[in-house]
Amino acid sequence: MLKSKRFNMIIAIFCFGAVMLLNYYYLHNVGQEIQKYSQRDEKILQDYSAEIVERLKNAESSELWQGIIDEYEYTVVVIEDSNGTDILQTTNKSFSVLDTKVQQVFAYEGEAYLIKISAYFLREYLSDSGYLFRFVLMALLIGAFLLLLFVLAVYTIMLRPVYKLYDSIEKYEKGEKIKRMRGRTETALLQNRFVDMLETIEKQQQDQRRIIASISHDIKTPLTSIMGYAELLKKDSISQERKERYLGIIYDKSTHIRDIIDDFDEYLSYNMESSLKKQRMPVDLMMAKLTESYDDELEHLGVNFIYNHTENNRIVDVDIQKMRRVFGNIISNSLKHFKSERKIIQVVCENEADDVKIIVSDNGEGVAPEKLQVVFEPLYTSDEGRKVAGLGLAICKEIVEGHAGTIKAERSAYGGLSIVIKLKTIHD
């Protein structure tokens, strides 16, 4: 394609150069001819001038001058007095820029006069030789060629890329991938933006397929257990004690399935542009609402819950119910990944510039440094035996960013995972 463009450009430049050289050659020859004829006409006109002046001087009266100058068919004569005023001119004729001109001063009855004489020999030459026709024809050819170049330029620069983009879209509908365009033209930027959009859509489709696969995987395991225990309950030979135990297992597995579906529904709802019910409150009050009841609950689970904070009267604008969901999801994630009997969850709240920073750390199994950036993706799991993890941290990310805040993961001082949240504070 690039070679074809270069070849077409070379041909166009060659043709344009050939036309311009031909025109230059033609104009140069015509210019020489005009110069030659002009020199000849000037000599003839000087003879005419001398003859006319002699006749004017010998006229019995200046009233006869008009008849004398009108006798010369191919000339235009103008006579001026000493004040520069035109007193006579050849009837129904005027000077032309193409005419050869001479002038001469003469005296008559003691008065000085200036006679200007021009002859239109050159106009006759141009008409008889077809010069004007050839000049117009050459001008039309050059104009047509320039118009063709303009059309080709418009097509190459504007229309052709649009057609290529249209063809690319048609190919994409047939399953072919659209390629990026080089350059900074509007069409290139448009196609590259379209490619970005398609890549985003394809990634979202892949994520959706993987989420569906995850939900299917997570539901299939407890559902298989439910079906197995339900099959056992059909037997008459099992004891009442076993029936109750099997029913308890079925209930627990069903609850697990319900929780998976609730998480999925919640994740979808947070991806929608639902409004946050924000309210302004001091940071201390927000943290009290977030950490309340966790002391007893975590102690019951054998977790050492540490909350480090100083007095903080800065104001934040938050949806406290959704922030509770964030805090709960982070705690729940920590509880799933403890690796030792000694379990620690530490919460730190501190100020940083115009933000309030909340850090939730644990001493769980942690995450490899190269994977800290992906823990908030809805498909991430540190368990290689499963396809995807739950959606808790992905929901946290949606909520925090909905508050115009930031959330990230770090390796904690205890060797586990730290979730760092920053929220903007309000200055009254």
Identity of residue 371: K
What is residue 408's predicted lDDT score, i.e. its pLDDT? 93
416, HSE (Cβ side, Cα atoms, 13 Å): 26
What is residue 141's predicted lDDT score, i.e. its pLDDT? 73
Architecture of domain 279-426: 2-Layer Sandwich (3.30)
Tokens representing 356 are 């309030």
Q: Which residues of the chain are under the pLDDT cut of 50? A: 1-3, 272-273, 385-389
CATH for 2-129? 3.30.450
Tokens representing 302 are 């054998």
What is residue 419's predicted lDDT score, i.e. its pLDDT? 94
Dist. CA 22–CA 412, nearest whole Å:
83
186-271, CATH topology level: Helix Hairpins (1.10.287)
Q: Is the pTM of this model over 0.85?
A: no
Q: What is the dihedral of CA 360, 366, 367, 368, to 10 degrees?
A: 130
What is residue 420's predicted lDDT score, i.e. its pLDDT? 95
φ, ψ (nearest 5 deg) of residue 93: -135, 155
What is residue 3's predicted lDDT score, i.e. its pLDDT? 46
In terms of C-beta distances under 8 Å and separation of at least 24 residues, what long-range contacts does 5-11 make, across chains too? 5/156, 8/152
Dist. CA 420–CA 418, nearest whole Å:
6
> Domain locations in the chain?
2-129, 186-271, 279-426
φ, ψ (nearest 5 deg) of residue 405: -105, -175
Per-residue pLDDT tens for 259-292?
778 777 766 666 544 567 889 999 999 999 888 8
What is residue 1's predicted lDDT score, i.e. its pLDDT? 44
